[in-house]
């Protein structure tokens, strides 16, 4: 298109909108934000490297006693974690009357009281406390006898419907001349068959 005036007196360049002179320049704002972000990322990388070097220097300057103390603290933390896991395992093993034995550790808060000074786990105290919890909360108890399976409502005749199921309903609707119901039932049967296919 050239800049020749058209029949209403405007040129092609007159139709191109110009951004307002006093509005923000979003492109330059975006570029400024990107530049700041790049500088911040570089600064963060520099600081991370300096922190790693400082940690290495501090580790090199530690005395043997400090290193041994740090190792002992790590070993003690690992022993506490293992002791807790062992107590939790004993609690789950003692929760034979529970519907879900993995729930039992949640109800016994102070696990340290089940560990003696020499590190032995008091299973009798665990059993007593679990029995007390089951007495207070009987809904956590395992149901007696075999569990009855839930009924599958898709099997057998429907209450209030014909005894033969969907096929009998379709036949009855067609015999009665109720074509809308027959088509609806056939569509339902096809949808059910499509859902069952892998």
The pLDDT value recorded for residue 168 is 84
Answer for the pair 114, 121: CB distance below 8 angstroms, yes or no: yes
Answer for the pair 181, 188: CB distance below 8 angstroms, yes or no: no
Instruction: Report which DSSP code applies to 41.
Output: H
The pLDDT value recorded for residue 17 is 58
Report the alpha-carbon distance of residue 189 to residue 183 in Å, rounded.
10
Q: Give 98's strand partners.
A: 141
The pLDDT value recorded for residue 40 is 93
The pLDDT value recorded for residue 35 is 92
Average pLDDT value for residue range 153-160 = 61
Tokens at 189, concatenated = 């049967």
Tell me the pLDDT tens digit for each residue of 33-65: 999 999 999 999 999 999 999 888 887 777 778
Tokens at 14, concatenated = 């007159």
The distance of Cα 146 from the centroid of its chain, to the nearest Å, equals 32
Instruction: Report which DSSP code applies to 149.
Output: P
Answer for the pair 133, 108: CB distance below 8 angstroms, yes or no: yes
Report the alpha-carbon distance of residue 103 to residue 106 in Å, rounded.
6
Residues in the chain: 198
Report the alpha-carbon distance of residue 195 to residue 197 in Å, rounded.
6
Answer for the pair 81, 125: CB distance below 8 angstroms, yes or no: no
Burial class (CB in 10 A: 0-12, 13-18, 19+), 22: exposed
Which of the two residues, 28 and 152, has the higher pLDDT score?
Answer: 28
Domains of the chain, residue spans: 64-140, 166-193
The pLDDT value recorded for residue 66 is 81
φ and ψ at residue 160, rounded to 5 degrees: 85, -5
Q: Give 115's strand partners.
A: 121
Average pLDDT value for residue range 133-149 = 83
Residue position matching structure tokens 């290495």: 56
The distance of Cα 123 from the centroid of its chain, to the nearest Å, equals 34
Tell me the pLDDT tens digit for each residue of 60-110: 777 778 888 889 999 999 988 998 899 999 989 988 888 888 888 888 888
Average pLDDT value for residue range 17-28 = 71
pTM reported for the whole predicted model: 0.43
Q: Is the pLDDT of residue 2 over 80?
A: no
């Amino acid at each position: 298109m050239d800049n020749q005036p058209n029949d209403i007196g405007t040129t092609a360049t007159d139709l191109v909108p110009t951004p307002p002179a006093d509005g923000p320049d979003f492109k330059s704002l975006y570029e400024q934000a990107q530049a700041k972000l790049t500088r911040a990322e570089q600064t963060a990388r520099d600081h991370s490297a300096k922190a790693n070097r400082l940690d290495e220097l501090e580790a090199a300057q530690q005395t043997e006693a400090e290193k041994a103390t740090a190792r002992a603290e790590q070993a003690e933390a690992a022993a506490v974690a293992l002791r807790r896991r062992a107590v939790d395992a004993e609690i789950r093993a003692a929760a034979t009357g529970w519907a879900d034995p993995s729930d039992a550790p949640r109800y016994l808060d102070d696990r340290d009281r089940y560990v003696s000074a020499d590190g032995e786990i008091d299973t009798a105290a665990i059993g007593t406390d679990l029995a007390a919890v089951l007495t207070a909360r009987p809904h956590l108890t395992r149901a007696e006898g075999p569990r009855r399976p839930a009924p599958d409502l898709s099997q057998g005749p429907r209450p209030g419907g014909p005894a033969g199921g969907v096929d009998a309903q379709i036949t009855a609707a067609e015999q009665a001349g109720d074509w809308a119901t027959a088509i609806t039932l056939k569509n339902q049967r096809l949808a059910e068959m499509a859902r069952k296919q892998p």
